[in-house]
Amino acid sequence: MVNELKTDEQSDICVPAKQLDELILLKKSAQNKLAADLLIDNKLYNAAANRRYYSLFQKAVHILISKGFSSELKKLEDKFGSHVATIKLLKKEVLATRNDKKAMQIFYDIREKRNDCDYKLYFIEEKDVYDLEISQKANKIERILLKYSS
């Protein structure tokens, strides 16, 4: 089996395409988490909810790709969309414990709040509300995802 190679434009290092995709997803995830923190510092809680959710989503996609579930993910995306497919596949194929699988409902909750912040007449004005609705839940999901990261 021949792996396609991609060049990381910043460093001119050739790495297998799958590995570079994984690195890019991790980098995006870290940047989105940092962006959420900066937005919180500036009291922009709705935008922070968006970035914090995407930080988790990109980390989840990274885990699926690193564990070889790219083709399964593509198939499910056609049926459910990329976000629901990612959470469903993670729950079904990667998560090992009942508690971790049950906690994926929290991931759906964060996704719903992100949708509310982006598309509905829902507005987070206080950090306490952000912490309760997004931050505490996101931290729990992040701890779970870290257990399954390669």
Name every residue whose Cβ is closer than 8 Å to that of residue 133 and which is 6 or more positions away in sequence: 49, 113, 124
DSSP state of 67: T
Look-up of token digits 């988790």: 56
Mean pLDDT computed over 1-23 = 61
Question: Would you state the pLDDT for residue 142?
Answer: 98
Whether pLDDT at 8 is above 80: no
Helix (H) or strand (E) holding 16: strand 13-16
Per residue in 20-68, pLDDT (tens digit) is 888 999 999 999 999 999 999 999 999 999 999 999 999 999 999 999 9
**Into which CATH architecture does domain 5-148 fall?**
Up-down Bundle (1.20)
**Structure token digits, residue 140:** 């729990």
Q: What is the pLDDT of residue 10?
A: 53
- Residue 5 has a pLDDT of 43
15 or 46, which is more confident: 46
The partner residues of 6 in beta bridges, in order of sequence, read 15
pLDDT of 15 over the 50 cut: yes
pLDDT for the residue 16? 74
d(CA 150, CA 54): 19
Choice among 5-19, 49-63, 133-147 with the minimum mean pLDDT: 5-19
Strand duo 5-8 + 13-16: pairing: antiparallel
Is residue 86 within 8 Å of 57, Cβ to Cβ? Answer: yes
Q: Are 104 and 95 in contact (CB under 8 A)?
A: yes
- Please give the model's pTM, rounded to 2 decimal places: 0.88
Residue 3 clears pLDDT 90, i.e. is over it: no
Cβ neighbours, 10 Å, residue 135: 21
